[in-house]
Structure 1
Amino acid sequence: MQSHGIPRVAATTLDKSEQARNKERKQITQYQALEKDVVDRVKAKDYSDATFQLTSQLLTQNPEYYTIWNYRRLILQHVFARELAADEAPSEQDAAAVSQADKAGLPPAQHEVLLLIKEDLQFLIPLLKQYPKCYWIWNHRSWLLGTATKHLPAHSAVTLWHAELGLVSKMLGLDSRNFHGWGYRREVVLAIERLSSNGDGEKESGSGNMVESEFAYTTKMIQSNLSNFSAWHYRSQLIPRLLSSRNADTKTRQEFLDAEFELITRALYTDPYDQSLWFYHQYLMATLSPANKQAEPVLEPCGRAEQARYLEREIGSVREMLEGAEDCKYIYQALLEYSGRYLEVEAEGEKVTLEEMRGWLRELRGIDPLREGRWRDLERKMGL
Structure 2
Amino acid sequence: MHGIKRSRLTPQAAEAKRLKEQSKIESYLGLQQDVLERKRSKDHTIESLEQTTRLLDLNPEFYTIWNFRRNILLSLFPSLSPEEIVSHLTSDLRLTTSYLLVHPKVYWIWNHRKWCLESVPTGPENTQKWKETFWKGELKLVEKMLDADARNFHAWDYRRYVLASLPIQRPLSDELRYTQSKIESNFSNFSAWHCRTKTLLSIWEKEGTDQDEIKRIKDEEFELVTQALWTDPADQSGWLYHRWLIGSEPHLDILEREIKNIKDLYEVEPDSKWCINALAHYTLLLAKQPTATEDNSKKLREEARTLYKRLEDVDEDRKQRYRDMGE
Q: What's the TM-score, normalizing by structure 1? A: 0.75
**Percent identity (aligned):** 37
- Pick the aligned partner of 1:162 from 94, 115, 136: 136
2:269 aligned counterpart, secondary structure: coil
Task: Quote how far apart the aligned CAs of 1:252 are.
Answer: 3.2
Query: Over the residues paired in the alignment, what is the CA RMSD in angstroms?
Result: 2.6
State the shift of 1:265 in Å. Answer: 1.1
Matched residue SS, 2:308 = helix
| Map 1:1-384 → 2, pairs under 5 A | 13-83=10-80, 109-148=81-120, 153-192=127-166, 196=167, 205=168, 208-286=169-247, 289=249, 307-345=251-289, 346-348=291-293, 353-354=299-300, 356-380=303-327
1:148 is paired with a residue of what secondary structure? Answer: coil
In the alignment, what sits opposite 2:3? none
Please name the residue that 2:4 is paired with.
none
CA spacing shift, 1:379–1:77, aligned 2, 3 Å:
same
The answer on whether the counterparts of 1:339 and 1:352 sit within 8 Å (CA) in structure 2 is no
Mapped contact 1:222–1:231 kept (Cα < 8 A): yes
Q: Which segment is superposed worse, 347-356 or 180-189?
A: 347-356
- Rounded Cα–Cα distance in structure 1 between residues aligned with 2:267 and 2:135: 49
Partner of 1:177, secondary structure, is coil
| 1:236-282 residue CA offsets vs partner (Å, 9 max, x unmatched) | 11112123444544543332111001111121111111111110000
3-state DSSP class of the match of 1:322?
A: helix
Q: Structure 1 residues 52-61 or 344-353, which shifts more? A: 344-353
Q: Specify the SS of the correspondent of 2:116.
A: helix
Question: Is the contact made by 1:149 and 1:157 (CA closer than 8 Å) also made in structure 2?
Answer: no
Give the letter for the 2:164 counterpart. Answer: L
Distance 2:262 2:298 in 1: 13
Q: 1:136 to 1:244 in 2, by over 3 A?
A: closer
SS of the aligned residue for 1:323 comes to helix
Post-superposition offset of 1:130: 2.4
Distance 1:378 1:133 in 2: 36
- Please tell me whether the aligned partners of residues 35 and 52 of structure 2 are also in contact (alpha carbons under 8 angstroms): yes
CA deviations 1:296-322 (Å, max 9, x no partner) are xxxxxxxxxx71111111111111111
Secondary structure of 2:251's counterpart equals helix
Task: Please list every run of 5 or more consecutive structure 2 residues that lacks an aligned counterpart in the other structure.
Answer: 1-6
Residues 77 and 85 of structure 2 are in contact (CA less than 8 Å); yes or no, is this contact kept in structure 1? yes
Query: Which segment is superposed worse, 271-280 or 25-34?
Result: 25-34
Cα deviation 1:27-59 (Å, max 9, x = unaligned):
233323323333333444332222211221121
* CA 1:369–1:127: 2 relative to 1, 3 Å: closer
Higher mean C-alpha deviation, range 309-318 or range 178-187: 178-187
Change (3 A) 1:55 1:318: same
1:301-344 Cα deviation digits (max 9, x unpaired): xxxxx711111111111111112201112222212211221222
Highest Rg: 1 or 2?
A: 1
Runs of 5+ consecutive residues of structure 1 not aligned to the other structure = 1-8, 84-108, 197-204, 290-305
CA drift at 1:347: 0.9
For normalisation by structure 2, the TM-score amounts to 0.87
Count of residue pairs the alignment pairs up? 316
Distance 1:25 1:343, change over 3 A: closer
Which amino acid counterpart does residue 375 of structure 1 have in structure 2? Y
